[in-house]
Amino acid sequence: MQPADSRHERGTTGGQVTDGGLMRDLRKALMQRMLGAELTEHLGYEHGEVAPPVQTNRRNGVSRKTVKSEDGAFELAVPRDREGSFEPRLIGKGQTRIDGLDDKIIAMYARGMSVRDIRGHLEELYGLEVSPDLISRVTDAVLDEVKEWRSRALDAVYPVVIFDALRVKIRDKDSRIVKNKAVYLALGITGEGEREVLGLWIAENEGAKFWLSVMTELRNRGVQDILIAVVDGLKGFPEAITAAFPQTMVQTCVVHLVRHSLNFCSWKDRKAVAAKLREVYVAETAEAAWDALEAFDADWGRQYPSIAQAWRRAWQEVIPFFAFSPEIRRIIYTTKAIESLNRIIRKAIKTRGSFPSEDAAEKLIYLAIRGHEKTSRTVRGWLTAVNQFAIMFEDRFKPIQG
């Protein structure tokens, strides 16, 4: 029979944690192993090994300590040393409350680790055999947070909302076939100049009906007006926006339009084509921009006729851009904010070949958004831009006085 301190250092029998004790058992077993690992590091030799001859300090049993967590109280056996020099970092002297183990599991999940990865990580580092269902239950708790986040009240007016999409492979609930579905994001800029993700929606195919439901949801959550909506030429989207928000100015995302244009030309011509297109969107007025587009077509139209055609088709959603000052143009032209968010989401999902369900995809994407929003959210140059908004939309937008 093993001595008491050995059993407690090693955690539960065989390191097995199942749904019976759920989070409390997991916390206790993991903490016991981590405390044992801390003492091993402090003493310099593994438990069960003979201490080096020069080593005077030794293990000296355990002391009992009751700690409280969000899942209830439990008793820990804190290992001791003979000299009394060991002070565990995991739970300090006088500390009686420990929380956040489930947050650590969720953090691993948010970094793109699968349930299998998390399970292997806990087993490799701490010798814990954690049931996949337990880890799924912990991460499923995020779904309640997602539901609350998706239904939260929004501001009445957003000066700018950028709509974008990325593709994710998700197993269809009915057919069980993995499909390439779109995740649509709405990134709003508040009256205070703060970036805020308003929501995410997953759909296999977009269309006017789908986009109208998105706009209706935003209205139901308190949005009364959007001054400028920046979109990626999505089918039926401008009509859906103006149906819900009749006064909203719909602006095609210039960056996406440029990228779409460059898809038509060869690699060797891309730099020259991009430089010529820049003359279009940096023009002072819509008339000057049209002249620049005609000049572009004269230079490149025979070789790449589809580019100018694409710009002409989108022209009604391009020209609002030219009515704004450079400060506002900079905000609605650049897509760094939404692209930074997309980059973080792609980093989280890149290790997944596909998701077993929309819920699984939604959990991970939400966690990526949550992590992203903890960083700086303030739009640069907002003070100058907000004054321009107040002048241009004086009957619809009043800047908040700081």
Per-residue model confidence as pLDDT tens digits over 333-389: 655 677 778 888 888 787 777 888 888 888 888 888 887 777 667 888 788 888 888
Reading the block at residue 6, the tokens are 């050995």
Tell whether the model's pLDDT for residue 62 goes beyond 70.
yes
| pTM score over 0.75 | no
Tell whether the model's pLDDT for residue 296 goes beyond 70.
yes
Query: What distance in Å separates the CA atoms of residue 126 and residue 116, rounded to the nearest whole number?
Result: 15
Instruction: Name beta bridge partners: 336.
Output: none
The average pLDDT across 254-282 equals: 91
Instruction: Name beta bridge partners: 197.
Output: 187
Per-residue model confidence as pLDDT tens digits over 30-42: 677 778 877 887 8
pLDDT at residue 237 in the model = 80
- When pLDDT is cut at 50, 70 and 90, the band that residue 17 belongs to is very low
Q: In what order do the strands lie in the sheet with 157-171?
A: 195-203, 178-189, 157-171, 225-231, 249-252
Residue partners of 47: CB distance under 8 A and separation at least 6: 6, 9, 36, 39, 40, 59
Residue partners of 127: CB distance under 8 A and separation at least 6: 10, 11, 15, 33
**Residue count (the chain):** 402
Per-residue model confidence as pLDDT tens digits over 301-319: 999 999 999 999 889 888 8
